[in-house]
């Protein structure tokens, strides 16, 4: 079970330090099997790495470039994330797909670069409200999975995150029935691609909070959560992790 916190473009150095200390301190006393990962802004990764109290809190980057180096102003390579102390990276978050027009092919290239550099990767997929209302949600998500996963991606080096775009930062949450149906569909798509993908964690990422986490995480094919706003508060993030 993976509980991942995407800090997005939030926090300053002092608040990142305190949050990392609080999270890792509380994570040390947890008695469940939740694997906790936080994804701070790139400029704060070193602060978070230095501030965590133990290895129970893992660190990831929010994005990486598909190339190992070169003339790519403002970008960060996967090897740079490794050097900074990261073990994970996000690829294909809906905000990257929308704001930066990243295609499935772009996401697959970034995931490949991450694996080559020694990172594990959480690959994000999900439909918009318009696509869901048009009855295309399953097809869109299947297409994103097929296009965003590199060939021969090791099952133990990645997780998939389903994030319905209409439920991110809006306060809306897909019903447990909606989440269950989509996660079952995603599992079918993954297993059709490779039998070992039956072991891949599928995270839910749509406005997960302490008051809805237990119901969502209890679903059979939900293997964790990709948490946004609630990951910026230690008590909320720990409460979600303790719901597993």
Catalytic annotation, residues: 93, 163
Tokens 């690959």 locate to 123
Rounded CA separation 85/60 (Å): 8
Residue 204's alpha-carbon distances to 107, 147, 227, in angstroms, are: 19, 20, 8
Question: How far apart are alpha carbons 198 and 158 in whole angstroms?
Answer: 12
């Amino acid at each position: 079970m993976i509980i991942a916190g995407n800090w997005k473009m939030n926090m300053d150095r002092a608040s990142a330090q305190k949050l990392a200390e609080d999270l890792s301190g509380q994570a040390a006393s947890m008695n469940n099997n939740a694997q906790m990962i936080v994804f701070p802004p790139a400029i704060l990764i070193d602060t978070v790495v230095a501030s965590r109290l133990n290895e129970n809190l893992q660190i990831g980057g929010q994005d990486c470039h598909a190339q190992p180096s070169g003339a790519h102003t403002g970008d960060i390579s996967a090897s740079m994330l490794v050097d900074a102390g990261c073990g994970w990276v996000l690829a294909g978050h809906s905000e990257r797909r929308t704001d930066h027009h990243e295609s499935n092919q772009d996401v697959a290239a970034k995931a490949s670069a991450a694996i080559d550099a020694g990172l594990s990767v959480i690959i994000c997929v999900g439909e918009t409200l318009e696509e869901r209302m048009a009855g295309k949600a399953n097809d869109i998500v299947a297409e994103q999975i097929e296009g965003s996963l590199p060939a021969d991606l090791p099952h133990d080096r990645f997780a998939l995150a389903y994030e319905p775009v209409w439920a991110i930062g809006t306060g809306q949450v897909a019903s447990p029935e909606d989440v269950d149906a989509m996660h079952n569909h995603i599992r079918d798509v993954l297993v059709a691609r490779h039998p070992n993908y039956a072991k891949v964690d599928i995270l839910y990422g749509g406005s997960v909070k302490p008051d809805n986490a237990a119901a969502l995480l209890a679903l059979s094919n939900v293997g964790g959560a990709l948490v946004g706003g609630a990951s910026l508060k230690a008590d909320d993030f720990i409460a979600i992790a303790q719901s597993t």
